[in-house]
Amino acid sequence: MPAKRDIHGVWLLERETGRYLVARAYSDIEIDMDLIAPFLSATHTFIDRASAEELQTIDTEGNRYVWVANDYLLFVMVVAKSTRISHMRFLLKYALDEFQRRMKEDGKDVATVLKYWHGTPRDFDEFGSFIDELVSQYEQSDERLVTGKAMDCLSVYSHLYHSILKAEQDKEKRKNLLERIIREIEPMRESSSVLEEIKIDKSGIDVFCLDVDNIGYRTLRKALEEVLQVVANTTREMVGEKRFKQMIFDHAMPYVKRDLDRLETYAIVDDVIRHLF
């Protein structure tokens, strides 16, 4: 388990009362689990009723509280500010869906369970253990992503590179575009072993040559995003803004729409918005 954690605490709360079904602390951050649960519930209720807006995050000086809610429950995480929020929200939604799935398997529904629940968190110890395992898997895979997830990232970025390069259909001009991309990336290779291994030639950009088992996740993502930035900026400059925007609508966005689940899971959609628009 890494010494520096992304996830500091998790709460599953009854939305109306603020009673907690599950409360977990994963670091030495000072949090009074009994005191903060009703505060989180009341804060969510206030925002919901006073402004007709949905509360999604609250920032403190060093951390961030992330929300996911349904009609009966609130799922809240306190995480480091450097953490990808879309990834955290995905984990919360996954856990919330799992809780409801387990209720249905037992022939129960959440509303009825909460109505007759006496407020004892021990009743949900089994689900608390599930949360522990989910958090543990995330933290353990944070620095060295399992092969399946890493390959997913390679696949998504490869599709994005391919879509952007479609902005230039002329073979000779496309060759010139790729040569320009190579020149732009060349100086960056000196400080990144990942960029050094990525193959770029007249046929395109190949990231599947990377040995993902020996690359840390953050290192991999940083390199892939750097390539995306160079490819997007260089293509925009060489084909012009009009053709670049046409490429987005004709090729990039249709792909993003088809593969949105993976883009959201790994927060790659953030990179798409940042570098393509």
Residue from 184, 146, 176, 160 nearest 263 by CA: 160
pLDDT in tens, the chain (277 residues): 445 688 999 999 898 888 889 999 888 766 666 677 677 777 767 666 665 566 677 888 888 888 888 889 989 899 988 777 777 887 888 888 889 888 887 888 899 999 999 989 999 999 999 999 888 877 765 544 456 678 888 999 999 999 999 999 899 999 999 999 999 999 999 999 999 999 999 889 999 999 887 888 889 999 999 999 999 999 999 999 999 999 999 999 999 998 888 888 777 888 888 898 8
Q: Write down the domain spans for the chain.
A: 7-141, 147-276
Contact 38, 111 (CB under 8 A): no
Residue-level pLDDT at 145: 44
Whether this prediction's pTM lies above 0.85 is answered by no
The kind and range of the H/E element at 24 are strand 20-25
Cα gap 258→47, rounded to integer Å = 34
Q: Which residue has the tokens 């989180």?
A: 40
Cα gap 141→229, rounded to integer Å = 25
Contact 179, 230 (CB under 8 A): no
Residue-level pLDDT at 1: 43
CATH superfamily for 7-141 is Dynein light chain 2a, cytoplasmic (3.30.450.30)
